[in-house]
Structure 1
């Protein structure tokens, strides 16, 4: 299967999935969301035991494609896009394989939510992460509320969401957003993790993963549904329109709480 916005490489029971919209810092447009969902669904029955996810170029993912938000104000398309995001996140979270997101550069918004759906999140020393929906008057989607609460607890998760600030990898590790920090080349790091993980009893690890997944999947689904409903409300606010316009004009937004 050929893809336009992603790249998939398989070596035995290991796969590497690259986000590949380099000119857009791997921002997630509808096509990328659909292609990611398709490949993850195919992998669910493939026998893959280990999957790495990273970004081509100098970013992991800048998040949702903000320019698309501004150019497409047709709310009839919002539901289908959010359903695709829901499918994507559930497919990654429930994949019967050990998953490792290798954050090789900026990971923001939906891009960070997507990374957090993996079992391990590792980040290059200079990489920055941000749950920055608040900066355009929105709330996290892609299960961001679910994954941050799991990692940080409710109080800290709320503060990270409300502040929307960017953190370098080491700071994100200290907070609990990422599990490990590495220096240098992402491919070399994946090779090291592959060597380490293939020496482990992967079937047993996957069994543990699926036990927890079965316990928590319904809560993730509920969170994704709530995010969809509340995000639609937020998209209609003056603050959101101002946030997107300010982003494109490269200026600070002037929010009014409306």
Structure 2
């Protein structure tokens, strides 16, 4: 599994996958999304039963890479990006292994959607989470609507999406967004979890996961398709253009509702 943006370490039937675009806070560009989807499909076809996902450097993932968004302004450039996001998320959601995301730092936007596709979501105490698409006039993608509704319920999910505010690890735990908070070194936490999980009946756990995933898969696919359709609409709005310009100019956006 030779990749430039992702590292993979296998240890028996357990494995760790590391985002490795450190200079970009592990933001997901098209290359990273492609490499992730390909790697996840390879993992799914292997004997791996326990998969940990975390980030190198100071962040889990800052979300979708803005340069990728700006370079795919046409419908022709946009659709391949969304197709690869769909492929990536479905590969993780349907993974025949127990999956754990460890948020070693910021997890925002698409990065948070990806983390929530795992069976367990843990965050280092100083990490922050945000579904912050609204700040540039967009909606969550990567199945964000599906995963947030599953964890928070529809009403709370809407509030989180619409507010776009960052949450501390403790706030995310209290809201039900994540499953646990840990302190200290992420690699040490990963090894501790690996020992604990390997002592569990993983085959039975994966069988339960398969039942729930079969029930949820049609809705997730429909959500991903709707997100791609609506996101394309949002990319043509005045509010999105203003949001991106304000981001680039490091100022607060002045939205018009158009």
Do both share a fold (TM > 0.5)? yes
Query: Post-superposition shift, 1:67?
Result: 2.5
Structure 1 residue aligned with 2:248: 248
Query: Post-superposition shift, 1:121?
Result: 0.2
Assess, with a 3 A threshold, how the Cα gap between structure 1 residues 91 and 116 changes in structure 2: closer, same or farther: same
- Give the Cα–Cα distance (whole angstroms) in 2 for the partners of residues 206 and 18 of structure 1: 22
Residue 16 of structure 1 pairs with residue 16 of structure 2: yes
- Give the Cα–Cα distance (whole angstroms) in 1 for the partners of residues 245 and 70 of structure 2: 8
For residue 189 of structure 1, give the secondary structure of its aligned residue in structure 2. Answer: helix
Q: How many residues align?
A: 258
- Give the Cα–Cα distance (whole angstroms) in 2 for the partners of residues 73 and 241 of structure 1: 11
Residue 238 of structure 1 pairs with residue 238 of structure 2: yes
Unaligned stretches of 5+ residues in structure 1: none
Structure 1 residues 160-171: aligned runs within 5 Å: 160-171=160-171
Query: Post-superposition shift, 1:69?
Result: 1.9
- Give the Cα–Cα distance (whole angstroms) in 1 for the partners of residues 44 and 195 of structure 2: 22
For residue 129 of structure 2, give the secondary structure of its aligned residue in structure 1. Answer: strand
Query: Post-superposition shift, 1:45?
Result: 1.2
String of CA shifts for 1:111-145, please: whole Å, max 9, x gaps: 00000000000000000000000000000000000
Query: Post-superposition shift, 1:71?
Result: 3.8
Structure 1 residues 117-156: aligned runs within 5 Å: 117-156=117-156
Structure 1 residue aligned with 2:92: 92
Deviates more, 1:63-72 or 1:235-244: 63-72
For residue 60 of structure 1, give the secondary structure of its aligned residue in structure 2. Answer: strand
- Give the Cα–Cα distance (whole angstroms) in 1 for the partners of residues 192 and 121 of structure 2: 15
Q: Which runs of 4+ in 1 moved over 4 A?
A: none
For residue 129 of structure 1, give the secondary structure of its aligned residue in structure 2. Answer: strand
Structure 2 residue aligned with 1:159: 159
- Give the Cα–Cα distance (whole angstroms) in 1 for the partners of residues 245 and 29 of structure 2: 18
Query: Post-superposition shift, 1:2?
Result: 1.3
Unaligned stretches of 5+ residues in structure 2: none
Structure 1 residues 1-258: aligned runs within 5 Å: 1-258=1-258
Tell whether the 8 Å contact from 2:6 to 2:17 is kept in structure 1 after alignment: yes
For residue 60 of structure 2, give the secondary structure of its aligned residue in structure 1. Answer: coil
Query: Post-superposition shift, 1:205?
Result: 0.2
- Give the Cα–Cα distance (whole angstroms) in 2 for the partners of residues 11 and 249 of structure 1: 45
Query: Post-superposition shift, 1:75?
Result: 2.4
